[in-house]
Amino acid sequence: MAQYLIGVDVGTGSARAGVFDAAGRMLATAKRAVIMHRQDGGISEQSSAQIWDAVCTSVRECVVAAKIDPFDVVGIGFDATCSLVVIGPQGAGLPVGDPSHPDRNVIVWMDHRALEQAERINEQGHDVLKYVGGRISPEMETPKLLWLREHRPDVYARAEHFFDLTDFLTWKASGALDRSACTVTCKWTYLAHEQRWDPSYFRQIGLGDLADDGFARIGQSVVHPGSSLAQGLTSQAAAAFGLRPHTSVAAGLIDAHAGGVGTVAAGGNATRALGYVFGTSSCTMTTTREPAFVPGVWGPYYSAMIPGAWLNEGGQSAAGAAIDQLVQLHSVTTQAQGLAAAAGKSLPQWLADRALELAGGASASVALLHDLHVVPEFMGNRAPFADPHARAVIMGQGMETGEDSLVALYVAGICSLGYGLRQIIETQADHGAPVQTISVSGGAGAHPLTRQILADATGLPIDVTECEEPVLLGSAMLGAVASGVFPTLQAAMAAMSRIAITCTPDPKSRALQDARYAAFLLLQKTARDIRQTMTTHLN
């Protein structure tokens, strides 16, 4: 009998589903948009009901497109952004912002409303913070919970469940309240290596009520990613998906971690490769056998991605979003979008193709930049400084208005992401977490220009896996473990993922890339020094 697996990925802007066979070959995918409300002040909200509808539609459509018997689907895995879902009585969502919009019950990962709460938590310096790089981020869940308690006390009090989005999806699918060790360890301060929450942390920061009720609202049962949940799909979820009841449902992963699972073992050794997941933001996933404490880098997290191994998680708060913001600053962007549409391409694809045409090669494209430099911290620095107040720097931009100057700005942006990645890699290596290769998923591996620039900027080989959707593959691997197709996640990773392309650094570009990296570090430091000086005078 054929055995098929489904991976579901809920990103910032869409829900996607993919059907895979047991060898990791993708048969079909489907996608539906996820709606987001944004407003000034760092507010980003979504509706869990709308997300669930998008998931259900995507699953049904990908099964039809794969032309398989739904009864041959044996397992399903989920990943999602690390967004906070607030659920009240009878499973109804509770509004996290404007009460006139009760459907908006999700505080999106990128929402920065809890900046002040995060700063307060960091000032108190609890011991658990050493497992998040020394400083908690406003993107994490306890600052957001504290914001809710202080600004929406009625909603906070009425809430029966606070879920990470991944755990919400597995709850909707199976009815299980188990939380994944990935979500609660990485974003909620669960100490997986000790298999416990620390009540003193919650009492110190002002969330002692969560400890008083035994952590029932945030998770009393924590399981490894890939663990089989409850009795599988409930009848209601099975009907919504078009699958058979009791199809195995796996404990899930954060989306970036699913990308790590789908890529880092393709070369045979998960500790050798850094997983670089490039989307709206970027995440770096580094696996170690022993814990490595890296200032400004989240972790070390035990069993947060690969059961039994430690994880350090870095990244950039804006990656694809930084490139989008950067090109929108140029006066010729609208004209270039028209040219891209006429050629049947997205704007980034058109810009990358044009860069190759102008430079004669990917490595040579850095010569297009001259004195143009970018530090892409539009949404702060996630790692290695854990500084949400950092902002972008653009140096050397003139008054040119031609398309080619936009191409140069785009290339400078891609280079800057590479330099930020190199900075994270070097910082981790200095603290006991070195890597030898970079395994990419998302936009970073989609075009030969971007993967070559990343190789040149970091000085490390870039591996691109065979599967075009490694995040979906990572979630499908979870379903493979939950259903018993493979005995462990490590076994599924080894069997279902393979390297298709390796892009090596061009030695001829090394001197120029090193010089530009030094300029990146200097600009970054200068911006930080200026901000500190101005803050001192303003206060």
Determine the straight-line distance between the first and last CA of the chain, rounded to whole angstroms: 70
Tell me the residue type at 312.
N
Tokens of 417: 């992401």
**Strands ordered across the beta sheet of 84-87:** 37-39, 43-46, 106-107, 84-87, 161-164
The C-alpha atoms of residue 314 and residue 58 are separated, in whole angstroms, by: 30
Q: HEC profile for 331-400?
A: CCHHHHHHHHHHCCCCHHHHHHHHHHHHHCCCHHHHHHCCCCEEECCCCCECCCCCECCCCCEEECCCCC
Arithmetic mean of pLDDT over the chain? 96
Instruction: Pinpoint the alpha helices (H) of 80-125.
Output: 115-124
Which residues, including other chains, have CB under 8 Å from residue 380's CB and lie 6 or more apart? 317, 387, 388, 389, 390, 391
Local confidence band at 41 (pLDDT 50, 70, 90 cut-offs) = confident
Q: Residue 193's pLDDT is what? A: 97
pLDDT at 102: 94
> d(Cα 478, Cα 253) in Å, to the nearest integer?
9
Residue type, position 189, single letter: T
Asked if the peptide bond before residue 384 counts as cis, ω within 30 degrees of 0, the response is yes
Q: Which domains does the chain have, with CATH numbers?
A: 4-254 (3.30.420.40)
Q: How far apart are CA 422 and CA 415, in angstroms?
A: 10
Which residues 6+ apart lie within 8 Å of 466 measured at CB?
24, 266, 497, 498, 499, 500
User: Averaged over 423-440, what is the pLDDT?
Assistant: 97
CA distances from residue 114 to 74, 138, 538 in whole angstroms, order as listed = 41, 5, 22
Question: For position 537, what pLDDT does the model report?
Answer: 84
Q: What is the distance between the alpha carbons of residues 466 and 500, in angstroms, rounded to a whole number?
A: 5
Q: Are 469 and 458 in contact (CB under 8 A)?
A: no
* Type and span of the H or E element at 96: none
- How many C-beta atoms lie closer than 10 Å to residue 271's C-beta? 18
DSSP assignment of 51-69 equals HHHHHHHHHHHHHHHHT--
Classify 506 as helix, strand or coil: coil
* pLDDT exceeds cutoff 90 at 428: yes
What percent of the chain stands above pLDDT 70? 100
Residue 412: band (very low, low, confident or very high) from pLDDT cuts 50, 70, 90: very high
Residue with tokens 């696996």: 287
Q: 430 pLDDT band (50/70/90 cuts)?
A: very high
Asked if residue 96 has pLDDT above 90, the reply is yes
Within 8 A by CB and 6+ apart from 7, the residues are 17, 18, 20, 76, 77, 79, 258, 469, 471, 472, 473, 474, 475, 476, 477, 478, 479
Look at strands 462-465 and 437-442 and give their pairing: parallel
